[in-house]
Structure 1
Amino acid sequence: MKKEGKTLILCEVFYPEDFIINDLARQWQKEKKDFEVLTRTPSYPFGKVFDGYKNRVYHTTELGSVKVHRVPVLQGYQKSMTIKILNYFMFVFWSTLVALFIGRKFNKVFIYQTGPLTLATAGIILKKIYKADVTIWTQDLWPETVFACGVKKTKLISVPLDNFVKWVYKNCDNILISCEGFAERIHKFVPEKNLTFVPNWSLMKYEPKKEVELPGEHNFTFAGNIGKVQNLDNIVRGFNYFVKENPSSYLNIIGDGSYLNELKEIVEQEKIPNVNFTGRIPLKDMSDYYKASDVLIISLVDVPLYERMIPSKFQAYLTTAKPIYSIFKGEVSHIVDKYEIGYTAHPSDVEDIAQGFSKFKELSEEELSIISERSQYLSDSVFNRERIISNINNNVWTN
């Protein structure tokens, strides 16, 4: 067994950007782990450099006592696919250059992969040159994500992409997957590798502080980003069938996003009653809204890539011990059915969605209590923060 050494966290996003890697880094600080971070100048999600930061070729900042090495970002990537792609390559170039310069002092690399797998390049090069052990925690599945974003799948593109993906995973000593559904696909590239299921945990503490009144006697709530992929057009149409016979029920949609105005137009034009748009609610107040809700909704469109994913919203929902309505094919619906913590529906079947609403309305107090106990168990076991971090530590620091 190798001794603990100095670790480099390699990631495209880091504090003050809001990702789970920040929580892990703070925990490592408490445990007095010896590590530094290599990332970009913060700009997510607005595509604009945060106030108080400079977009230099290279500079360092600090998170507590931890040194954070930063490389530049091309601003405006939220509105331009060209800029977004250029950013991927620019990060590979600058992070590799900086890693070569500072890499000699690290014997371990921890790659937090939220987006393009290309960010792993610098970590693999450190392995090749300085013999560093590499652990990757993959949050996104390549090359599927590339084609899901609209890139046409041709042999000219897919062959080099597949070879690159295989090269990355083959050179990782430990592969941590945030969704069990990733395993089958990754094993096609590296069948000899052991994969470890390391899900995300909830960053939200369920701590209701005040009473919030939602408009219905029975409140279904969707909370989060309101984009096209969240499938909310089918949800409101399914709710429309249901609410005609259940006029005291409300669908509450909490959040903001690029599809909000279009969704409001659908509700207005199709005269769908009892849909309550609250707008964005501060994270510190979300516990109050969850407490006021009877059922929490999680949904994505019917795209094969999403079937393998567990959105972090799911873990936040679990902490509330409320029934979960999964309008979602794949991983999340499998968990909801397996642990019997709610109901599921096909994301493209509006009538099936409507029937799902009816099932929740019929739940007795005893059944709701059982669901609450099961959700709490799942949150305290599979998605328990302390257990997950311990699992990460066993892979990064002691292997």
Structure 2
Amino acid sequence: MLKKKYDLAIINRSFWPQSEILGEAKLRLAERVAEDGRACVIAQAKIDVKGEALRQNRANKVKFYVAKSRSDSSSGLVRRIFDALLFGPYVFLTLCRARPKHIYISTNPPVVVPFLVYLYCKLFHADYTYHLQDIHPEITNLVLPMNRLLFRFLRRLDNTTLRNAKNLITLSNDMASCLRRISGTKAKIHIVDNPGFETTVGSVEKRKTNDLVFCGNAGRVQQIPNLLKGIETYLKRGGRLNFTFIGGGVYASQIKTLSEKQSQVAYLGYLKPSIANNIVSEHRWAILPIQDDVAQFAFPSKSSSYLASGCKILGICGPETSVAKWIEALGVGAHVHADPEAIARTLGQIELSPAEREPTEFRSKPKTQTIQTFVEDIEKILASPKLS
């Protein structure tokens, strides 16, 4: 069999510097491996990632293979799927050239690219670690219902990938249980929180001056229409709280429209995490919405960032979801059904609570995941820098 050229290949469609949190984390992981071994990155971007790394004196020993990207999180679903499918052949051919002995692959993009990683590893006797930030094709099927045969075909592909992984990583126990149930995998499943914004002690402990913030992708499973209706109902009844929205997504135009109608709603659009972090930390509460039937297949990525910024959490979800249980277990806020009337009532209760005018105090200080601790967690799972 051909000799392996790299100890680790990291595959993620979005990467540093455009992905400032997970992208930065995976760049640091590549840098750590490259200190004593050989690491490469396979990604997709609209910019020259290698050139930017050279300008910032980063990842000097890391090899970059970067394909041209033609979509982003605000693009239509069909366009994003097409772009992801084009990335697949590039990944497989690049793996055959680079011949890594271990691959760290995420669900970005899902199903097809991880399955191609499995095929490469089968052909070249390599190993892979599969990190599931969400579970597909289930989430895709909820957003855009598939032909039944296509869904079964994609599920069979992903089950094969799951059963043959050396390690599996996901975000919650509910997601881990779901993976075991749908695939029958016997692989070890590790629970690792996504990293949050890098914060300073001062930014977390400073007095809160604003009320509620939503920061993230205003996408198809975030309950944005019901959330906006709930906020509008609350404000029409004379509510005094203010709301800040940060981020893009398919519902960005609806958020902007509400902000133009209501002076207590501000829409700031997409901001870099380093800027968004400071704004989030000024708020007492952070909004964490997720569609109930999606919660077993995903966990909101902003949860760690909100906690790191010292915000209480208002979950927009059912009481049996992993998000609601997480909020209750940590004692970090409240949750409410994604019903506009229920949301409006809960906002009224928050407004009337005297404690909400004081600095945030949690029942117990929750552990937050930083970029550094995330990299350390992944390193431990991968076993060693050279992955022997």
Structure 2 length normalisation: TM-score?
Answer: 0.80
Aligned amino acid, residue 158 of structure 2: V
Matches within 5 A, 1:12-91: 12-18=13-19, 19-30=21-32, 32-42=35-45, 49-50=46-47, 63-70=59-66, 72-73=67-68, 75=70, 79=75, 83-91=79-87
Shift of 1:340: 1.2
Partner of 1:248: 240
Percent identity at matched positions? 17
3-state SS of paired residue (2:288): strand
CA gap of 1:266–1:244, structure 2 versus 1, over 3 A, is closer
Which residue number in structure 2 is paired with residue 395 of structure 1? 381
Which gives a bigger RCO, structure 1 or 2 (Cα 8 Å, sep 6+)?
2
Structure 1 residues 288 and 169: alpha-carbon distance in aligned structure 2, compared to 1, 3 A threshold: closer
2:357 pairs with 1:355: no
CA contact (8 A) 1:308 1:331 kept: no
Instruction: Indicate whether 1:147 and 2:149 are aligned.
Output: no
Q: Secondary structure at the match of 1:377?
A: coil
User: Alpha-carbon deviation of 1:279?
Assistant: 4.2
Pairing of 1:304-315 with structure 2 (within 5 A): 304-315=293-304
Matched-pair contact (CA < 8 Å) for 2:245–2:266: yes
The number of aligned residues is 369
Name the CA distance, whole Å, in 1 between partners of 2:377 and 2:50: 34
Superposed displacement of residue 360, structure 1: 2.5
Please list every run of 5 or more consecutive structure 2 residues that lacks an aligned counterpart in the other structure: 1-5, 52-57
Instruction: Tell me the amino acid that sits aligned with residue 351 of structure 1.
Output: E
**Correspondent of 2:255 among 263, 286, 293:** 263
Alignment CA distance shift 1:186-1:327 (3 Å): same
Give the Cα separation in 2 of the matches to 1:34 and 1:303. Answer: 43
Match of 1:277 in 2: 267
Instruction: Write out the 4+ residue segments of structure 1 that deviate beyond 6 Å after TM superposition.
Output: 366-370
Rg bigger for which structure? Answer: 1
Q: Would the aligned equivalents of 1:99 and 1:126 in 2 still touch at CA under 8 Å?
A: yes
The one-character-per-residue Cα deviations of 1:270-318 (angstroms, maximum 9, x if unpaired) are x656323344445333344234322111223x35124542222111100
Show the counterpart of 1:345: 336
Q: Which runs of 5+ in 1 are unaligned?
A: 43-48, 55-61
Which among 123, 137, 154 is matched to residue 129 of structure 1?
Answer: 123
**1:45 aligns to what?**
none
For 1:114, give the aligned amino acid. Answer: N
Tell me the secondary structure at the aligned position of residue 302 of structure 2.
Answer: helix
- TM-score normalized by the length of structure 1: 0.78
Asked if the contact 1:298/1:326 (under 8 Å) is kept, the reply is yes
Give the one of 311, 334, 340 matched to 1:322.
Answer: 311
User: Structure 1 CA distance, aligned partners of 2:262 and 2:308?
Assistant: 31
Equivalent pair of 2:175/2:297 in contact (CA under 8 Å)? yes
Contact 1:115–1:139 (CA<8 Å) still a contact in 2?
A: no
Secondary structure class of the residue paired with 2:130: strand
CA contact (8 A) 1:208 1:291 kept: no
Q: Would the alpha carbon gap of residues 39 and 232 (structure 1) be closer, same or farther in structure 2, given more than 3 Å must change?
A: same
Instruction: Measure how far apart 1:172 and its partner are.
Output: 0.5
1:147-204 CA distances to partner (integer Å, 9 max, x unpaired)? 13414241x2133222211211121111111233221221121242321111211133
Structure 2 CA distance for partners of 1:384 and 1:84, relative to 1, 3 Å: closer
1:234 aligns with 2:226: yes
